Amino acid sequence: MNAMTTRTRFAVLALVLLAGAGCGTPVKGPDFLDLNPVKGVVKRGGQPVRGGSVRFTPDPSQADFVVNSVVGDDGTFALSTVRTTDSKGERRSGAPTGKYKVTYTPLLGDQTAGGSTNPVELPTPVTVNAGNNDLTVDLSKK
């Protein structure tokens, strides 16, 4: 019986040590790709929109990163990239090169004024090139 108790204690201790070996070790997400500065303006009917946000979704989609920006009252934006698996929310300026589906989401604002608050997806992808990018997101194009 004494040998059995020693074996049981050893087994329990081994399980506790094995279970604790993975605890507290942060999961490292994918490395950031090289990012390029991306700024621009969102327009509708030739005029800058007032506020909202833009989201650039890589084509093909990559769930590991979110590329987006708040749109200012003058329609301007500057993209940044955040790793979706990063619990600290590390955000870096810019976006990786490639093609993106672009979605503009207007501010909620006063819905009684007849304005739409539905997201608008551009019909054609936008390309982010290596180096500086200065883009116009034209919501008027169909």
Of the candidates 70, 90, 72, 68, the residue with the CA atom closest to the CA atom of residue 80: 68
In this structure, are residues 135 and 38 in contact, taking their beta carbons and an 8 Å threshold?
yes
- Residue 28's CB is within 10 A of a number of other CB atoms, namely 9
The domains located in the chain, with CATH, are: 38-138 (2.60.40.1120)
Residue-wise pLDDT for 36-71, tens only, equals 999 999 999 999 999 999 999 998 777 788 999 999
Residue-wise pLDDT for 58-116, tens only, equals 987 777 889 999 999 999 999 999 988 777 778 899 999 999 999 999 987 644 445 56
The model's confidence at residue 122, banded by pLDDT at 50, 70 and 90, is: very high
Residue-wise pLDDT for 23-37, tens only, equals 555 556 677 779 999
What pLDDT score does 16 carry?
44
Task: Map 4-43 to HEC letters.
Answer: HHHHHHHHHHHHHHHHHHCCCCCCCCCCCCCCECEEEEEE
Q: Which residue has the tokens 């081994």?
A: 14
Q: What gap in Å lies between CA 125 and CA 110, rounded to an integer? A: 30
- Looking at the predicted structure, is the pLDDT value of residue 4 above 60? no
Predicted TM-score (pTM) above 0.75: no
